[in-house]
């Protein structure tokens, strides 16, 4: 998996199993900064509806951090390919 993709996926523990989800979408209720939608596009990549978005990473000491990613490749069906993301800045979370 592309390194940038990890910043926009998370795992839910449900009924003794683990399920992988895209960040954003319905999760905006939990974190208003995640005001984007991610979908699988026909290009066999991930499309996001914002040119810039906040992703979540972990620092060396396992401290959570927010990162701002800018996407550089437009998807022909609309939005931007997450796989084209470039790190713009890091900001430590509380």
Using one digit for the tens of pLDDT, what is the confidence trace for 18-46? 888 778 887 777 788 889 999 999 999 99
Between 42 and 59, name the one with better pLDDT.
Answer: 42
Strands (E), 1-94: 9-14, 17-22, 38-40, 46-48, 52-58, 64-71, 80-81, 85-92
With cut-offs at 50, 70 and 90, classify the pLDDT of residue 93.
very low
**Could you tell me which of 73, 60, 64, 5 has the C-alpha nearest to residue 38?**
5
Between CA 45 and CA 22 the distance in angstroms is 13
Between 11 and 75, name the one with better pLDDT.
Answer: 75
């Amino acid at each position: 998996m592309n390194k940038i993709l990890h910043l926009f996926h998370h795992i839910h523990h449900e009924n003794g199993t683990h399920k992988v989800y895209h960040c954003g979408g319905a999760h905006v209720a939990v974190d208003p900064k995640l005001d984007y939608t991610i979908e699988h596009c026909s290009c066999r990549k991930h499309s996001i509806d914002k040119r810039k978005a906040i992703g979540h990473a972990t620092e060396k000491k396992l401290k959570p951090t927010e990162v701002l990613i800018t996407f550089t490749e437009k998807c022909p069906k609309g939005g931007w390919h997450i796989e084209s993301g470039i790190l713009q800045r890091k900001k430590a979370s509380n």
